[in-house]
């Protein structure tokens, strides 16, 4: 549908008044999405809040920092009531388990280090919830993610947040061009989380000082192994801790308790050199350890690539970009060489330590803020 060139675009990019623009806001119950909903409502938009119940909220009522459960559902509902827009809670427990939790457990059992927040965005929030927003005849869906959507020469582009400390682009690399057309991220331009909390206070939101969620929502206190043992009884089978040179150094209580790059908690003290987990041999239930230099990786195989560049991914012989191989690391220069339309070998110009299967490799425009997509690291 062509835009009415005589009508100025509203803040969400539509050529009509806010009152005639319906926006579904994905509300987790935290301060970020609450601010988005309250701010859009104050601008006169036709706001509809939707919260997803993702897992057994009865078991999580007392847990602070648990997204989309118990306390948070209550907080989201209260924001909607106080601000004056409709709010719905949708039961997505079975969808979330099938699309996110089961794969998380199976990935750990296979020796990978998964990132379930990416799968949740990809398979639940930006797929199923987005379709719900369309069913509600919304013009767009807004979230509280810290990332920017900008209009480029070839359509919407994804860019890193203005606040590098809050940037969530690593967790949103799998957003497709079609989804990006429909999504809006009103907080991406803010310079700090303090600015978000100031907006919350201005709107009189009781969640203004609510702490941020720190852990994966369904993993209490960051104890991944306990969750996996509950989901997959008998998963933590004991085995050997073996040096890369073949020496058996000790025993472990289950491969799921270890990750590549780990140094502490190995239980093999008294050795002359510091040792790190360099590989997990799941088939033989072995944790392979070695010196730090064995962690350095230059070539990273990546698959399930989502490409957000302007030209077809596989047509170029190579892409010179910056990449992140962990959410907490700064991007480093790399050459991405496609091996198919959705797979590549990534050469890191500066080797990285602790690159682990199951993590994401996210591509960025070198020297800029644009997110060019990314894919999943595998063992090759």
Q: Are the beta carbons of 266 and 275 closer than 8 angstroms? A: yes
Which two structure tokens, joined as six digits, stand for 257?
A: 């308790």
Active-site residue (options: 68, 117, 140, 217): 217
Q: What DSSP letter does each residue of 201-269 carry, written as one string?
A: HHTT-TTTTPPPP-S-TTSGGG-HHHHHHHHSTT----EEEEETTS-EEEEES-GGG--TT--TT-S--
Q: Are the beta carbons of 16 and 32 closer than 8 angstroms? A: no
Our answer to whether residue 67 is catalytic in this structure is no
Sequence-ordered list of residues with C-beta below 8 angstroms from that of 334, at least 6 positions apart, any chain: 320, 321, 322, 323, 346, 347, 348, 349
Our answer to whether residue 217 is catalytic in this structure is yes
**Residue 88, beta-bridge partner list:** 50
Q: Please, what is the angle between helix 71-83 and helix 31-42, to 10°?
A: 10
The radius of gyration of the chain from alpha carbons, rounded to an integer in Å, stands at 22
Active-site residue (options: 117, 120, 140, 361): 120
Return the closest-CA partner of residue 190 out of 144, 157, 126: 144
Any idea which residues carry the catalytic annotation?
120, 217
């Amino acid at each position: 549908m062509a835009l009415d060139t005589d009508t100025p675009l509203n803040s969400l990019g539509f050529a009509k008044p806010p009152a005639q623009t319906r926006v579904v806001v994905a509300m987790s119950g935290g301060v970020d999405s609450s601010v988005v909903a309250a701010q859009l409502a104050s601008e006169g938009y036709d706001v509809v809040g939707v919260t997803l119940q993702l897992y057994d909220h009865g078991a999580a009522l007392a847990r602070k920092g648990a997204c989309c459960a118990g306390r948070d559902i209550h907080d989201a509902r209260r924001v909607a009531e106080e601000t004056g827009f409709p709010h719905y809670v949708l039961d997505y427990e079975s969808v979330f388990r099938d699309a996110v939790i089961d794969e998380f457990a199976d990935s750990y059992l296979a020796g990978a280090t998964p990132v379930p927040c990416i799968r949740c965005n990809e398979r639940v929030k930006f797929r199923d919830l987005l379709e719900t927003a369309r069913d509600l005849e919304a013009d767009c869906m807004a979230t509280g993610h810290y990332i920017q959507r900008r209009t480029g020469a070839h359509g919407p582009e994804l860019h890193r947040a203005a606040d590098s400390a809050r940037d969530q682009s690593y967790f949103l690399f799998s957003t497709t061009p079609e989804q990006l057309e429909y999504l809006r991220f009103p907080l991406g331009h803010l310079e700090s989380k303090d600015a978000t909390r100031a907006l919350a206070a201005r709107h009189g939101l009781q969640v203004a000082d609510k702490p941020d969620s720190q852990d994966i929502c369904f993993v209490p206190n960051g104890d991944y192994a306990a969750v996996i043992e509950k989901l997959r009884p008998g998963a933590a089978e004991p085995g050997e801790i073996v040096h890369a040179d073949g020496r058996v150094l000790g025993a472990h209580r289950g491969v799921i308790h270890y990750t590549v790059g780990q140094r502490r908690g190995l239980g093999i003290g008294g050795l002359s050199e510091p040792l790190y987990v360099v590989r997990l041999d799941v088939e033989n239930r072995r944790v392979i350890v070695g010196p730090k230099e064995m962690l350095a990786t230059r070539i990273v195989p990546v698959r399930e690539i989502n490409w957000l560049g302007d030209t077809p991914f596989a047509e170029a012989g190579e892409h010179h970009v910056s990449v992140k191989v962990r959410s907490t690391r700064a991007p480093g220069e790399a050459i991405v060489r496609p091996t198919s339309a959705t797979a590549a070998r990534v050469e890191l110009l500066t080797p990285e330590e602790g690159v682990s299967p199951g993590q994401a490799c996210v591509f960025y425009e070198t020297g800029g803020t644009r997110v060019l997509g990314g894919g999943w690291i595998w063992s090759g």
